[in-house]
Homo-oligomer: A and B are copies of this chain.
Amino acid sequence: MDHSENTLRDCIQAIFPMSASANAEIRRRVEFLPAARGEVFIKQEAANRYEYFLIEGVCRSFLIDPQGEEITISFFQGASVLSPHSVRTVRERSFYNFQACTDILLGRLDAANFMQLMIAHPEVRDFGNTVMRLELMRKVEREVGLAVLTARERLLKFREQFSMLENLVPHTQIASYLGISAISLSRLRSDIARE
């Protein structure tokens, strides 16, 4: 078993521990593929029929607003699972863009095939539902954060959650994730550093 497969197992076990056989069932359906830093591996409005594991690296989801600006919705760090297909797509068209922030390694599997596996295996079903519930909790947390926290507090929280990202991805991407302009982010950074 090579490194990727071990890490795939980590992605899964971190969310919902499953038996070796259930792990193997998933493993058999997963195809590994790399994406280079900057590559948009899921495109907004494009058809997409896969579920994804992020084996290694950092990526983000984003969309283009009416002014043509990129808005970062989420960041993801491996080893983890990307938002489920049902969250990313409406009528089989991708809702967001997904872009590699570093060189990454993905594991992908056919969403319909995975759905069959969920139906057949209670363990896999629990895994899938847990993924969805965790994604929902993330959204709730973000919703609350945007509602009750100041931009400054959101930045501090971002630093807790994604400690290495501030020196890794362009600040314009972080700023749009925080709901502020890159200039405001710069101001906040120097304000905080001054203390």
Q: Chain A residues in contact with chain B, CB under 8 A?
A: 63, 65-66, 71, 73, 86-87, 90, 95, 129, 132-133, 135-137, 139-140, 142-144, 146-148, 176, 179
Main secondary structure of the interface of A (DSSP, over half): helix
The contact of A147 among B65, B139, B144, by CB within 8 Å, is B65
Q: Which of B65, B86, B179 contacts A133 (CB 8 A)?
A: B86
Of B65, B95, B133, B146, which contacts A140 at CB under 8 A?
B95
In the complex, what residue of chain B is closest to A88 when comparing beta carbons? B140
In the bound assembly, the distance between CA atoms of A63 and B90 in angstroms comes to: 30
CB pair A148 B63 closer than 8 Å: yes
A73 smallest CB distance to B (angstroms): 7
Q: Which residues of B contact A66 (CB under 8 A)?
A: 148
Q: Is the CB of B139 within 8 A of A140?
A: yes
Q: Known contacts A129-B129, A132-B132, A133-B132: does B139 contact A73 (CB below 8 Å)?
A: no
In the complex, 18 of the A-B residue pairs with CB atoms within 8 angstroms, ordered by the A residue number, are A63-B144, A63-B147, A63-B148, A65-B148, A66-B148, A71-B144, A71-B148, A73-B143, A87-B133, A87-B136, A90-B137, A95-B140, A132-B136, A136-B139, A142-B143, A146-B179, A147-B176, A147-B179
Q: How distant is the Cα of A73 from the Cα of B65 in the complex, in angstroms? A: 23
Residue of B nearest to A66 (CB): B148
Specify the chain B residue showing the minimal Cβ separation from A90: B137
Task: Kindly list chain B residues whose C-beta atoms are within 8 Å of the C-beta of A90.
Answer: 137
Contacts of A140 in B (CB 8 A): 87, 95, 139
Cβ of A156 to closest chain B Cβ, rounded Å? 13
- Which of B71, B129, B133, B139 is A139 in contact with, Cβ under 8 Å? B139
